[in-house]
Amino acid sequence: MNLSRRLVLIAATWCLLGAAHADLSGKVIGVLDGDTIDVLVDRKPVRVRLAQIDAPESRAEFGTRAKQALSKAVYGKVVTVKSSGSDRYGRTIGTVLADGQDINRLMVGQGMAWVYRQYSTDRALLDLEAAARKGRVGLWADPNPVPPWEWRAQKRT
């Protein structure tokens, strides 16, 4: 077998193995905010909440920009979601992969989301957030950004 055929065979095998380990895969048909998307799986929409991160709410400072950043990264693309369960609203919680990138990490690295410390187990996310904060990237350009969990608590009172 020549080298090019071997490379094609290896690439196809890796793709199949990657798909076998994925919990779900489909086209992103909606972006609700900076950390929630709708993925079309077997002709049914599945709501996915990006794990371990928390983006500003739509009506909060920077909420629109976070939604735009997530849209740019995933809208209309086929993504893979590595599920870590579901939340009390029935959304799938997971790590979203698109174009070979971890979108959860991308959002934090671009300063479009905080690490949701209550649910995070990924040290790399904290490092990305620290770098974004130090570089005053995205929401970190604001001297006192309000974390989404605090913004939600203020709205409840």
Does 57 qualify as catalytic in the annotation?
A: yes
Q: Which residue has the tokens 């904060």?
A: 133
Q: Is 91 a catalytic residue?
A: yes
Among candidate residues 106, 100, 101, the one with its CA nearest the CA of residue 129? 106
Active-site option among 43, 47, 57, 117: 57
The one catalytic residue in 49, 129, 136, 152 is 49
- Annotated catalytic residue within 5, 47, 88, 91: 91
The residues near 125 (Cβ < 8 Å, ≥ 6 apart) are 52, 53, 104, 105, 108, 115
Is residue 61 annotated as a catalytic residue, yes or no? no
Residues with catalytic annotation? 49, 57, 91
